[in-house]
């Protein structure tokens, strides 16, 4: 097992910046305002937003822990695609547009930084261990959706990785499942795009040691999405991506949603 990297009373966990540098700035400010004594980023710096270097700069100038996402591995190693694991041709079409844009606009120095991120990390919150990963602890691009991640599987992962809590991102929709014994899994959502719920805000998580247990708060985060939308249009990024930030509904990468999560969205 990995060594514990840091210890916290109250820690902010976020992931999926997807080049949304405004939201990345906002989450760092919000965590500070809430009195968090640490911040961890769970991966995917790049994605469908504008100016990839800006998010890299925001993250690199902040004091925070890092876990690598599939996007970071791909961009860091200049691979051919984002390795998001899509099978649908339309999803892959749009995923390739954002990937090619991100790769072309990420400075070599930032690519080296992305490539060097660790695949996972372990922290302590109070007396409990939290295993941090991007998709799942066993696979960087495994999707852990609420409707397809049963309690028995969460228990299996907690046993296998000898942890009280698991924290992940990758799907872009936040949720949490606790077992009867208090162990569990929290998907912290993403700050780079809204949660396909018709609202423009994005999500992250705050874990706090309170009364002998780790309390999880899934935090809705407002940010200046209109500024990001303007930049995306100026960069000539697809209007489908713009629409997602402006409306809160996903328009691409939909085929990977389980049926239950899919019917909750508009498209």
Partner 1 sequence: MRLSMAWLDTLWLQVTGTVCNIACRHCFISCGPKVRKHDYMTVEQCQAALDSAKSEGLRAIWFTGGEPFLHPDILELMDAALEVGPLGVLTNGMLIDDALAAAIGERFRNAPYNLEIRVSLDGCTAEQNDRIRGKGVFDAACAGLRRLAENGVPALVAVSLVDDDAMDQARLVEVLTGLGLERPRIKWIPAFRIGREERRGRGYEAWEMLTPEDVAHPETPHRLQCGTSRTVTSNGVWPCPILINEPDFRLADSLDAALGPHRVDHKACYTCYVEGFSCST
Residues that bind partner 1 (CB under 8 A): 138-139, 145, 147-150, 152-153, 156-157, 160, 254-255, 258-263, 267
* Residue 156 Cβ vs partner 1, minimum distance, rounded to whole Å: 4
Dist. CA 252–CA 161, nearest whole Å: 33
CB of 170 to partner 1, least distance (A): 15
Q: Which is nearer to partner 1, 5 or 147 (CB)?
A: 147
The answer to whether the CB of 266 falls within 8 A of the CB of 212 is: no
DSSP secondary structure code for residue 3 in this structure: P
Separation CA 252–CA 2 (nearest Å): 36
How many of the other CB atoms lie within 10 Å of CB of 111?
A: 19
Which is closer to partner 1, CB of 162 or CB of 222? 162
C-beta closer to partner 1: residue 107 or 156: 156
Question: Which one, of 49, 19, 41, lies nearest residue 132 by Cα?
Answer: 41
- For partner 1, which is the closer residue by CB, 34 or 266? 266
Give whichever of 156 and 215 is closer to partner 1, judged by the CB atom. Answer: 156
Residue 107 or 160 with smaller CB distance to partner 1: 160
Q: CB neighbours (10 Å) of residue 89? A: 8
Q: How far is the CB of 45 from partner 1 (least distance, A)?
A: 25
Cβ distance 252 to 240 under 8 Å? yes
Number of other residues whose CB lies within 10 A of the CB of residue 184: 20
| Closest distance of CB 195 from partner 1, Å | 17
Tokens of 126: 């109070």
**Cβ atoms of residues 189 and 204 within 8 Å:** yes
Q: Least distance from C-beta 255 to partner 1, angstroms?
A: 7
| Cβ 260 to partner 1 shortest distance, Å | 5
């Amino acid at each position: 097992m990995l060594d514990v990297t840091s210890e916290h009373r109250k820690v902010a966990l976020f992931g999926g910046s997807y080049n949304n540098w405004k939201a990345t700035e906002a989450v760092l400010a919000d965590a500070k305002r809430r009195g968090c004594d640490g911040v961890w980023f769970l991966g995917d710096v790049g994605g469908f937003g504008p100016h990839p270097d800006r998010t890299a700069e925001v993250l690199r100038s902040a004091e925070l822990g890092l876990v690598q996402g599939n996007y970071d591995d791909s961009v860091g190693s200049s691979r051919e695609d984002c390795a998001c694991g899509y099978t649908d041709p339309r999803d892959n079409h749009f995923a390739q547009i954002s990937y090619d844009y991100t790769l072309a606009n990420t400075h070599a120095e930032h690519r080296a930084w992305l490539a060097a991120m660790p695949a996972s990390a372990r922290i302590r919150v109070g007396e409990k261990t939290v295993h941090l990963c991007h998709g799942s602890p066993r696979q960087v691009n495994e999707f852990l959706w609420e409707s397809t991640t049963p309690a028995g599987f969460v228990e299996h992962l907690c046993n296998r990785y000898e942890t009280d809590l698991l924290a992940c991102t990758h799907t872009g929709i936040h949720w949490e499942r606790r077992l009867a014994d208090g162990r569990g899994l929290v998907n912290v959502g993403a700050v780079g795009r809204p949660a396909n719920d018709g609202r423009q805000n994005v999500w992250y998580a705050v874990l706090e040691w309170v009364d002998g247990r780790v309390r999880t708060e899934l935090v809705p985060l407002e940010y200046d999405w209109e500024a990001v939308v303007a930049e995306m249009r100026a960069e000539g990024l697809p209007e489908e991506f713009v629409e997602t930030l402006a409306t809160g509904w996903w328009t691409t990468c939909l085929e990977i949603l389980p049926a239950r999560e899919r019917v909750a969205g508009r498209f």
